[in-house]
Amino acid sequence: MLAVDHDERRRRIAEVTVDVIAREGLEAATIRRIAAELGGPTKIITHYFADKQELLVWAYRSLAEQSERYLTEVIARDPTDIVSALMAMTAVDESQTLLWRVYIAFWDRAARDPFFAELQRTQINLALKRIAEIIRARNGEREDVESVSQRLNALVQGISLLALADKERWSPERVRGTLADEVEVVLGRASARV
φ and ψ at 113, to 5 degrees?
-140, 105
Residues 98 and 44: their CA atoms lie apart, in Å, by 25
φ and ψ at 47, to 5 degrees?
-60, -30
Residues 194 and 143: their CA atoms lie apart, in Å, by 9
Q: Total binding residues for a second copy by CB under 8 A?
A: 41
CB of 168 to a second copy, least distance (A): 10
- Residue from the set 166, 173, 192, 194 that interacts with a second copy by CB under 8 A: 166
Cβ burial of 76 (10 Å; 0-12, 13-18, 19+) is exposed
- Residue from the set 11, 47, 121, 129 that interacts with a second copy by CB under 8 A: 121
* 158 belongs to the binding site for a second copy (CB under 8 A): yes
Count of CB atoms within 10 A of residue 59's CB?
25
CB of 171 to a second copy, least distance (A): 12
Determine the interface stretch with a second copy among 18-26, 45-53, 60-68, 76-84 (rule: CB under 8 A). Answer: 18-26
Query: What are the residues whose beta carbons fall under 8 Å from the beta carbon of 150, sequence distance 6 or more?
Result: 128
Interface positions, 25-54, toward a second copy (CB under 8 A): 25-27
Q: What is the DSSP string of 71-120?
A: HHHHHHH-TT-HHHHHHHHSS-SHHHHHHHHHHHHHHHHHTT-HHHHHHH
* Nearer Cβ to a second copy (71/160): 160
* 67 belongs to the binding site for a second copy (CB under 8 A): no
CB of 156 to a second copy, least distance (A): 7
* 93 belongs to the binding site for a second copy (CB under 8 A): no
* Nearer Cβ to a second copy (52/109): 109
- DSSP state, 42? T
Contact positions vs a second copy (CB under 8 A): 22-27, 101, 104-105, 107-112, 117, 120-121, 124, 147, 150-151, 153-159, 161-162, 164-166, 169, 178, 181-182, 185-186, 189
